[in-house]
């Protein structure tokens, strides 16, 4: 208030006395009010801008601290530990103390696992990966790692959703996780039916009018789109009757086919045109397709996530964290960085999250992406 009074005195002091007489006191006061309104408006705008800048700086500092740095590797000594590391970091960045939902998948079934990326986004549920031994049997140490995390981080009455049948996640594993929360399983006759069951469990909000379509026979294209937070339909050489029914029952304005015609045949693309506007996103390699997906869905961002193009588990575990950071998930390898660098070129990238091990993607490669 003192500042306002001082401003009033300053304005009156500058005004010519004869001019004041001609204007009349009421008019003069009105003029001062108008001037003060402009001054106050500018002052408020400045204060708001300064407050917003301070809040943004504080949020950025908190994010950097939660990530452990601007360029950081988030992994572990096995797939279970790596997925726990990603989940823990997600909780820190999101500012949550506990989780209401988690998703459990096996490293033996990429199709079931990748079907869960949209459900993960909808429920704010990190994806935890159960590792297998070289002979294909379950690594019980990995299961114990996940169980320990759940007991510490899953809220009371929290839900643990298993994706896939007992051939990928055994009944014994399911039973062992029962003490950690409410366990439910989503599974069907095959990978395509399971994918549909997961999509139906996630549901579609009214504002979700975009569908991704990827091959159910390979993981590279679907893992590249895992951080978009969009529903993804996995397909084979043709659309099944159940898939056609799902498409008929839901209204999609845009349908993006991921990968080349080798991955998703032209016949499928043609069949999809009945259900929405179709566009294919692809490149000459999985790395170029990954960069093209990033360009399409992450035109503006200050963060990128990277993972190896040779394995799906690391990138899958980090997908929810990448989505929280509004970061595309770029496939790279030590001898395959051109596409990723092309994407980041000209962008002000502050954060690089690396979900691959040092053996998969070296530090030098990670640092070069930024």
Same domain, 188 and 80: yes
Q: How far apart are CA 317 and CA 213, in angstroms?
A: 20
Q: Model's pTM, two decimal places?
A: 0.86
Is residue 62 in a domain?
A: no
Closest CA to 246 of 196, 180, 308: 196
Instruction: Look at residue 16 in the predicted model and tell me its pLDDT.
Output: 56
Is residue 198 in a domain?
A: yes
Same domain, 137 and 46: no
Is residue 64 in a domain?
A: no
Same domain, 42 and 89: no
Q: Kindly list the averaged pLDDT for each block of 10 residues, start to end, along the chain of length 370.
A: 56 56 59 62 67 70 91 96 98 97 96 96 98 92 97 97 96 96 97 98 95 97 98 98 98 97 98 98 98 97 97 96 98 97 96 97 94
- The three-point CA angle 366-82-363 to 5° equals 15
Same domain, 148 and 197: yes
Is residue 59 in a domain?
A: no
Instruction: Look at residue 99 in the predicted model and tell me its pLDDT.
Output: 98
State the DSSP string of 315-359: HHHHHHHHHHTT--EEEEBTTB-HHHHHHHTTS---EEEE-S-TT
Instruction: Look at residue 59 in the predicted model and tell me its pLDDT.
Output: 77
Same domain, 123 and 27: no
Closest CA to 193 of 214, 222, 164: 164
Same domain, 116 and 256: yes
How many other C-beta atoms lie within 10 A of the C-beta of residue 250? 17
Instruction: Look at residue 238 in the predicted model and tell me its pLDDT.
Output: 98
How many other C-beta atoms lie within 10 A of the C-beta of residue 204? 17
Is residue 56 in a domain?
A: no
pLDDT tens-digit map of 7-53: 555 655 555 555 555 555 656 566 666 666 656 666 666 776 667 66
Same domain, 86 and 156: yes
**Helix, strand and coil in the chain, % to nearest 5:** 50, 20, 30
Is residue 110 in a domain?
A: yes
Same domain, 98 and 239: yes
Query: How many domains, the chain?
Result: 2
Same domain, 77 and 35: no
Is residue 365 in a domain?
A: yes
Instruction: Look at residue 2 in the predicted model and tell me its pLDDT.
Output: 57
List the domain range (segments joined by +) for residue 39: 2-51
Same domain, 207 and 275: yes
Is residue 235 in a domain?
A: yes
Same domain, 32 and 125: no
CB distance 256 to 296 below 8 Å: yes
Same domain, 36 and 140: no
């Amino acid at each position: 208030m003192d500042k306002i009074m001082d401003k009033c005195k300053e304005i009156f002091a500058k005004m010519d006395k004869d001019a004041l007489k001609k204007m009349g006191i009421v008019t003069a006061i009105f003029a001062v009010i108008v001037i003060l309104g402009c001054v106050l408006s500018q002052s408020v705008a400045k204060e708001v801008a300064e407050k917003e800048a301070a809040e943004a700086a504080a949020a950025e500092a908190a994010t950097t601290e939660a990530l452990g740095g601007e360029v950081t590797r988030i992994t572990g000594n096995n797939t279970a530990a790596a997925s726990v590391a990603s989940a823990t970091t997600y909780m820190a960045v999101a500012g949550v103390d506990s989780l209401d939902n988690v998703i459990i998948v096996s490293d033996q079934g990429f199709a079931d696992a990748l079907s869960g990326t949209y459900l993960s986004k909808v429920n704010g549920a990190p994806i935890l990966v159960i590792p297998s031994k070289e002979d294909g049997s379950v690594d019980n140490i990995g299961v114990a790692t996940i169980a320990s995390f759940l007991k510490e981080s899953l809220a009371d009455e929290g839900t643990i959703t298993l994706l896939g049948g007992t051939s990928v996640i055994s009944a014994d594993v399911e039973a062992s996780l029962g003490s950690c929360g409410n366990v439910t399983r989503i599974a069907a006759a095959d990978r395509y039916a399971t994918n549909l069951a997961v999509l139906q469990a996630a549901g579609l909000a009214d504002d979700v009018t975009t569908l991704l379509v990827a091959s159910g026979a390979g993981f590279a294209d679907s893992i590249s789109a895992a951080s978009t937070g969009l529903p993804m339909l996995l397909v084979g050489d043709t659309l099944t009757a159940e898939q056609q029914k799902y498409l008929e029952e839901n209204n999609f304005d845009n349908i993006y086919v991921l990968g080349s015609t080798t991955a998703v045949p032209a016949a499928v693309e043609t069949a999809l045109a009945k259900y929405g506007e179709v566009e294919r996103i692809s490149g000459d390699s999985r790395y170029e397709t990954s960069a093209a997906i990033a360009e399409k869905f992450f035109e503006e961002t200050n963060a990128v996530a990277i993972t190896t193009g040779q394995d799906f588990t690391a990138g899958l575990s980090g997908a929810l964290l990448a989505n929280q950071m509004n970061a595309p998930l770029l496939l790279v390898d030590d001898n395959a960085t051109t596409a990723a660098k092309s994407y980041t070129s000209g962008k002000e990238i502050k954060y690089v999250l690396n979900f691959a091990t040092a053996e998969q993607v070296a530090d030098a490669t990670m640092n070069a992406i930024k």
